[in-house]
Every structure is written in C-alpha cells, then in structure tokens.
Chains A and B, each alone.
Chain A
Amino acid sequence: MRIGTFGVVEDRRRLQSRITALRVVMSVIFVLLLGGFWFFQVFQHAKFKEMAENNHQRTLPLRAPRGVMFDRHGEVLVENRASFNISIMREHSRDLDRTMRLLAKVTGADEAQMRETVERHRREPSYRPIVVVQDATLAQVAAVTARRLDFELPDVVVQQVPTRRYPADALGAHLLGYVGEASEQQVADGVVATGTVMGQSGLERTYNEILMGSDGARRVVVNSVGREIRTLDEEPPTEGKRMQLTLDASMQRAAEEGFRTTGYWGSAVVLEPATGDVLTLVSLPAYDPNAFAAGIDKATWQQLNTDELRPLQNRAIQGRYSPGSTFKVVMATAALEEGVITPETKIFCAGGGTFYGRFFQCLGHHGWMDVRHALEKSCNTFFYTVGNQLGVDKIHDWSQKLGLATKSGVDLPNEVESIIPSTAWKQQRTGERWYPGETISVAIGQGQVSVTPMSMAVMMASVAQGRRVTPRLVKATSNGGTWEQVQNPAPAAPVTLKPDTVSAVHDGLWMAVNGAGTAVRAKIAGRDVAGKTGTAQVISLQGRQRARGTGRDLRDHGWFVFMVPKDNPELAGVIFAEHSEHGYLAAPIARHIIETYYARKEGRPLPVMPAVPGTPGFPAAPAPAPARPVAGDGADEGGVR
C-alpha cells in the first residue's frame, strides 16, 4: 500500500471531530428547512392557497342581455346583438405600459384615449377588467387573439358581450333612449358598480331595473400566460325582462316620415284616449342610439351636445312652446264646465274687443259666434270674452285638470313642467299681482303660456275621452313566458267632463277640419277627424326687431291638435312643427298618421306620404329618409322663402 496509511492518532481524531461538525451543521440546516416548509405549508397555508387560486382562477362576468322591447303589435324595436369588448386585466399585467402600446398598435385604437380610460379606472381593483375597445371589429379581435397565442398579451381579454341594437333609422330614438356606462355620479349613488352598462335616457333609463337583468359569472382556470384551460363553474346571466310598449311602430314610422316629407323638425305625440297608451312619440332631429350602445366617441358626443338644433333634447317632454290657438280647446272646455257659457251662448265678434282699456284684435269679423263656431273659425273675440269671465285662476285650474299644467306624468325621465300662469304663480315668481288684462292674452294661448307637446296630447286625449287621461308607454312585461299586464296609472286627480261639454268641443273641432275651418288639410273622407291649428310666436314683434341679423330662425311654430273620430275618439294627438309658421302645414303629418292607423287596423297596405305643397320638403321629390338622421343637415334651413 503506497498511499492512505493511517495518520497519527491525533490527526484521525481531528478528522472524526470535523466530520461530526459537518453532521451537526447538516442536521441544523435540515431542521431549519423542515421548519421553513412547515411555516409555509401548514402555518401560512390558507394565505398561499388563496394566492394560488388568484393566480389561476379568474372570474369573468357574463353580462346579462337587456330585455327586448316590442311595439304593441309584437314588432321588435330594441334587441341585442353579440359584440366583443377588449379589456385589460391589470392584475395580470407585467408591463402595463407595453401592453397599452402593443394593444393600440395591433387594434389601431387611439393610444392616448386608451391611456385615459385606464387612468380613469386606476383606483379600481386590479382584477376588474377595464374595457379599452368597445364593440371591437372581427379584425381587431383576431389581431389580439393571435398575439395572445404568442403569449404577448397575457393581461388582455376579449369578452363577448350583448350590445343593444336599436332601429337602424333611429326610430323613436328619444322614446327608447340609450344605454351607456354608469357615470361617476351613478356609481357614487351606489346603485351599480363601475363599468355597468345602464339606461341613460328614455325608456332604457326609466325601466332600467326591469330591463337590466342580472349578470352571471364564469370561473375559469387560466395558465401563467392567461390562456383559459377549463371552466370551473358558470352562473348564467338572467336576461332582463321583455317589455311590450304601447307604441305602434307603423304609426311612429309614419309620423317620422311625415316630418321628413314636409322638411320640418318638431315633435308628435299620439295617444289612445281610452287607455292613455302612447302610440307615437316623435322628437326630431334625433340621434343614433346605436352610437351610444357601443360607447360613444368623444367627437360625436361633443357634436350632439353643441348642435344648436339640440338633437339630444326630447322635444315632446322637454321642449316648451306657446300653444297659440290650440289653447282655445282648453278655454272652451273650461268655460262650458264652469258654466260661464252654455253650448248655445253667443258672443258677437266685431273683429276684436276692448278689455281693460286696450283693444285686442281678432283675425276676422265673425259676427255672432257660439262655442262650436268659435272653435271652427278660431275666433279670438269669443275666447277673450270667456277668458275674461273665467279669470286666470280658473283657466289654470282647468289646464291642470286636463293635464296641461305641470307634468303629464309620462314614464320618461327629465320631463319639464308646462306652465299655465295663475295669480299665485305670478306672485311667487315676480312678486307682483296679476293684472286682469294679462288674462286676455292667456285666453288665446299667448303671454306666459308655455307647454310641452306631451301635455298638449294629454289634454287632447282627456277632452276626447271626457276624463283625465294619464299617458303610459309600457303595456306589459314578461320573463319570456306569459305577459304580465302593467296596471294603468291612476290620474293624479280624476276629472270627468259633462257630456254637453264633450259634444260641443268635439263638434267645434270637427267643424274646424271638415267645415270652413283652418285645418281642412287634415280632412280625411269618411273619417271624422276633429282638430285645431295653432301658431306659436317664436318671438315678439319688438324682439324680432332686435334679433334681426343674428341668424336665428324667428319664424313661428305651427301646432295641430286632433282627435279621431269625433265620437268616441280612438286617437288623440298633437303635431308640433318648428318654424312651419302655420298650424295647417303641420296637419298633413297628422293626416298621414291617422291614415296609417286605419290602414293598419283594417289590414290595408300602409299609405305613402305625398309631398305637401307649401312645406320645405316641396316640390322637390322627397329625399329618401337618411339611415341615420344627423342633426344639422339643414333640412329646415333649406326651406322655401
């Protein structure tokens, strides 16, 4: 043996002790390791278990489709379509900055806007997806999906979500409303979570809770690059309730066609007097609610808000106008009900009358007039006289009883109050007392009388029905099974008119259309249309002088209120045509709606609106209705004169 002889005993002992030292060191290390694993696996297990689950489990919201809306005959008005949202889940971002840059590049989206969106949601929990591209195109979805396959965008998710589809021609835009992401205020009010899509206007807003349904959720397992491996469980969303509206889509379409054919902006409201069902509710110009459904872009929103024609305003409930001669319907009803006159009372018209030392003009020398003829001829002198006898407070009371003062109570948000002056109202507003002379102007719908088309329609329906009518927009709701009828709302204060009053007013309005009246353009052979025109001054004569040259359209507005047939009316409504100057130019629109109603009722083909002489839309061939009427296309300015 050449090597490896035993060393000295001392040497051997030192080796043994050093090996023992190593053994002790290793024992200590292994005890420490065991303690470490015990600490993580036993002591802190719950914490790490949760962290592991957060790692690989994601809860994806399944957005509930909003309830479908139908018209009264079952035609689909608003439904849902599948769309894709591209969102960022910051929880899984390794480099948010890079993600946004890359995402903007592959989708062609505006990077600055994307950053702004992410910044706005910065404070929210990072597991909540931030939608950066709404209603993505298939090309965008494909681009993102491909990147995800390359593990490049693990923090980006593409979700399929139901999105609202409104009629392509913006039919009933103001009535149906639109949806949008909950505003900061709405979130602060605690009704909904951020990012929730909810009704922001129209019926979408009023009945948001019914339409919204409840979102579901899907728990999935994802791997480290965010790819879904499998679904753990799924709670399906509950679709919002279906709603059957009182609206008649064909009449609504006819009304909008009527405005386009004549070339006016304005509003139309048609009710079924017996029920208060709103059959038609038009406000033009309109906007495209589809633009809101997929998240409206800033430029469009800006434009809609600054447009002088105010396309976002629902003129039917938010526009207030002087009613002009159409107010005489209220005057006649009030005078008859109060007993100031009987249907046979005659008043002499000599082309006007002097009240409180001032001469008030009539447009004709009508001679002896009873209430029927006064309505037919729209005799001012007659109504000056009865107005003077009634006094402004009685006029106010009857306006309120007929639904013309205050709000109509229709189930739409942000309705404004119609104003019919009274002594108390003036006292409160200006601190001055009411001068009886002011009543004379009020008697023919001028002065401070200012009403919405909707309240006018309610008044007409109430007069038609002989009792106060409350408008409603929803007939029934359903979970997909049977329809549950919605209870008719009770009027604030039920009023019933005397049969004598009803027949006298109806006769007068019938004569206005069918006799020697002002509204012969609404006459339909075989249909007893009854109606009344009116002209609303946009500005006083003095004001007109001052406003000259400012470019404002100062031409008067035209009104036409109607009911049909004269006895037991099936329809009552109002047409308000901006700057049409004469109420009779609004009447053909009513006529078209009425003809459409009967054609539909009797199963005949729906009529086509003929051009109306004297309107801006004439004589040029009526342009086809633009698919998306955008405010400010100049149809009004392009008129005659």
Chain B
Amino acid sequence: MFERRLSTHLDWSLLVAVLAIAVIGVVMIFSATGGASREYWTQIYAVLLGLGAMVACMVIDYRTLVDKAHWIYLALLLALLAVMLFGVVRGGSRRWLDLGVFNLQPSEFAKAGLALILAKLLGDLRRTAPSTQDLFLAVALTAGPLLLIANEPDLGTAVTLLPVLGVIVFAAGLPLRYLGIAAVVAVVSAPVAWMFALQDYQKERIVTFLDPEQDARGAGYQQIQARITVGSGGVTGKGFMKGTQGQLRFLPVAHNDFIFSVLAEEQGFVGVVVALGLYFFVIIRSLDAARLAKDRVGAYLVLGVLASFMFQVVYNITMSAGLAPVKGLTLPLLSYGGSSMIATLAGFGLILNVRMRRFTN
C-alpha cells in the first residue's frame, strides 16, 4: 500500500512543526512538574507511541479508511460504551479504559472517528449541498459519541466534537442562511438556557468570567492567576524552571490545562510568539492540505480532524491568558496527556495522508 515515492510528497514542514510543538510540550512539562517526573516520561512515551499511530494512519490510504469508517465509528461507540460499563474512575469521572499497560481515553479518538464517518457521509454526496436529511443524519452521528462522552462526564471533550460537525458541514456547502438561523437561535436561547438549563455552578463560572475580581478567592482565582502568570512573564520570561506562578503552584494543573501559561511565564512574549507561530503554521498548512486534497472526502477529513484541533488550541490559549472561562480543555500537542497526544498525532497522520496522496489515483 505504501509506495516509496509517496515520501517525496510528504509534507515534511508540517511534520516538523507538529513534532517541534510536541517537544516544546515535553520540555514545559519537565519544568512544570519540577524535573524528570512521571508525567515527563509518560509524555515522552506518548509522543513515541503517537508517532507510531501517525505512521499507521499515513500508510493506509485514507480512502480505504473512509471506506471502513462505519466500522471504525462502531468500534468507537463500543469503546465508549465499554468506558461507561468498565471504565476507570478518576477525579469523579469515568473516562479511561484500563488496558493493563496504560489507561486509554477513547473519547480522544472520537474526534478522528467522527471526522472519518462525516467525511464519508458528506463526501459521497452527489448533491451540490447537503439536504436537510443529510444534516440530520450528520447531527445524529455526532450526537451518539457526544452524549456518551458528556455522560462520563467530560463536557470539555464532548464539546470538541461540535466543531468537527460544524466545519465539515460548513465545508460541504451548508447554506449560509442556516448559519444565520443558528446565530439567531443562539441569541434567543441564551437567556432561556440561563434560566432553565444551566446549573448554579455553571452560571457562577460565567459570572466569574465576566468579573473575576468579584470572586478573587473562589472561581475567579484561576483566571486571575492565569493573567498574573502570563503578564509577569514579560518579554523574555523568567527563565526555564524559574516561573514562580507555575513552580509554586499558584496556577493549578500547570502541566496540563495551563501549560501555555507556564510557557508564557518562563519564556515570555518571545516564547509565546514562537509557539503561536508554530500553531498558526500547522493550521494554515493543514488548511492547505484540505485545499489541495484530491477529492472532497479528503478535504472534509482534513477539515474535520483540524476542526477540533483549532477549537482546542484557540480556546485553551485564550483561557491560558485568563481571557476565557476556565474549562478542563487541554492544549493539543503541548499539554500533558497520553491519549490526547496519540490521538492528535494520529489525526495529523490522516492530514499528512490526504496531502501525500493528492496525486495518486
């Protein structure tokens, strides 16, 4: 299946940028956890495993994968059901499957799985735009894993499936009036949701976000600390392992959700520019892969995989600067997390796959 000449079409620059971010992540985890910690080594193993997964996702022609997408999707649902039944509970939620050697978080793989099945559904259409029926089917396919993940509960990861749906549908030619309708519905439903749907703690989070000083010791604490962390970094940063906010634990889960804040604190604005530049390059380069894709299926697949990546990157970095409410959403490639790293690298394997095969038949 894998032809030697394909390697000449491999997007080396994207691959290098992705790996560069992963390496920066490993280094920042080293700093945030105070040295060669367990988390540091786990992350290194995850990167190596992820490279394996990436190669695996590259060598098989993406069209074959899309062809088998319904089986992959089914396997994914089964894995999520297994989590529900046999999952390992940590920190009050059931997210992991104990595989003996390590714990696997199937929800991380749901994004790529969903991208595959949606690419198959919408890429095969002969119509110029998806019909209402197609849209319903797409929403239903998204809802399945989303509800299972939300039920774990892991609202953060569940929400990342929505961009996958949104971007693929958007690319597939969703009439713009639907976007308008969606916007109107959102505006109208917000107060209703506020009054009926949201729990008190959720409302509190939103209020706190709008005015963090109001609750500087409680929910607003992390947000203020995030701003202090970033702001105190200055232009050149406090130096590797010398950040006070991260090192002295003023910022919670520094190696995880707030890894970008640690980077901003220790490496300063210079480090932020480099990291943001790498992420921007990866996104633009991936969008190129979608643009250059041989077929719609490939384009949708790339965009689907990229959608959750973009969403998480933008949200997490905004949150790291204390500009968004604090949610348990990690930063792909940089944050600590084995399953996330493997799934993300596998996803980039798919993106590279599509670009690599743009000239093949």
Contact = CB atoms under 8 A, between A and B. Distances in A.
Interface string B88-99: 000000000000
B128 interface: yes
A47 B234 CA distance: 11
B295 A26 contact: no
Interface stretch (A31-39, A302-310, A589-597, A601-609): A31-39
Interface stretch (A8-16, A116-124, A409-417, A427-435): A8-16
A45 B248 contact: no
A15 B232 contact: no
Interface stretch (A48-56, A208-216, A512-520): A48-56
Interface residues of A, number: 48
A185 interface: no
Interface in A53-108: 53, 55-56, 93-95
Contacts of A221: 244, 248
A41 B231 contact: yes
Contacts of B322: 40
Given A40-B231, A41-B235, A45-B231, A15 B296 contact: yes
Interface string B287-304: 100110011111100010
Contact of B248 (A16, A22, A37, A229): A229
A19 B297 contact: no
B235 A1 contact: no
A7 interface: yes
Interface string B211-242: 00000011000000101111111110000000
Nearest to A50: B232
B170 interface: yes
A55 B264 contact: no
Interface stretch (B74-82, B181-189, B192-200, B269-277): B269-277
A38 B273 CA distance: 9
Given A4-B63, A40-B321, A41-B264, A19 B295 contact: no
A23 B287 contact: yes
Given A19-B303, A37-B272, A225-B249, A14 B173 contact: yes
B72 interface: no
Given A41-B233, A41-B235, A223-B249, A26 B291 contact: no
A33 B280 CA distance: 11
Contact of B128 (A3, A8, A23): A8
Contacts of B361: 1
Nearest to A55: B250
Contacts of B137: none
B24 interface: no
A236 to B, nearest CB: 25
Given A19-B303, A26-B283, A30-B280, A42 B235 contact: yes
A227 B170 CA distance: 52
B314 interface: yes
Interface in B302-345: 303, 310, 314, 317-318, 321-323
A265 to B, nearest CB: 56
A389 interface: no
A221 to B, nearest CB: 7
A426 interface: no
Contact of A10 (B123, B128, B280, B314): B128
B15 interface: no
A18 interface: yes
B213 to A, nearest CB: 12
A465 B225 CA distance: 76
Contacts, number: 150
Interface string B255-287: 000000000100011001100100110011001
A242 to B, nearest CB: 42
B134 interface: no
B231 A55 contact: no
B231 A44 contact: yes
B232 A49 contact: yes
Contacts of B297: 3-4
A223 B244 CA distance: 8
A42 B318 contact: no
A9 to B, nearest CB: 11
Nearest to B361: A1
Nearest to A26: B283
A6 interface: yes
A222 interface: yes
B20 to A, nearest CB: 17
B161 to A, nearest CB: 18
Contacts of A48: 227-228, 230-232
A542 interface: no
B118 interface: no
B296 A7 contact: yes
B294 A4 contact: yes
A550 interface: no
A331 B162 CA distance: 110
A38 B235 CA distance: 9
A69 B303 CA distance: 84
Contact of A26 (B66, B249, B280, B323): B280
A540 interface: no
B294 A29 contact: no
Contacts of B318: 33, 36
Interface in A551-590: none
B201 to A, nearest CB: 17
A192 to B, nearest CB: 31
A5 interface: yes
Given A10-B128, A37-B269, A56-B250, A23 B284 contact: yes
Contacts of A26: 280, 283-284, 287, 310
A37 B321 contact: yes
Given A23-B284, A41-B269, 13 more contacts: A3-B123, A3-B124, A3-B295, A4-B63, A18-B170, A19-B299, A33-B276, A41-B230, A41-B264, A42-B269, A47-B231, A55-B244, A55-B248
Interface of A: 1-8, 10-11, 14-16, 18-19, 22-23, 26-27, 29-30, 33-34, 36-38, 40-42, 44-45, 47-49, 51-53, 55-56, 93-95, 221-225, 229
15 contacts: A3-B297, A19-B287, A19-B303, A22-B303, A26-B280, A26-B287, A40-B230, A40-B321, A41-B234, A45-B232, A53-B232, A55-B248, A56-B248, A94-B218, A221-B248
Which are the 6 A-B pairs with shortest beta-carbon distances? A48-B231, A4-B295, A52-B232, A223-B248, A40-B231, A224-B249
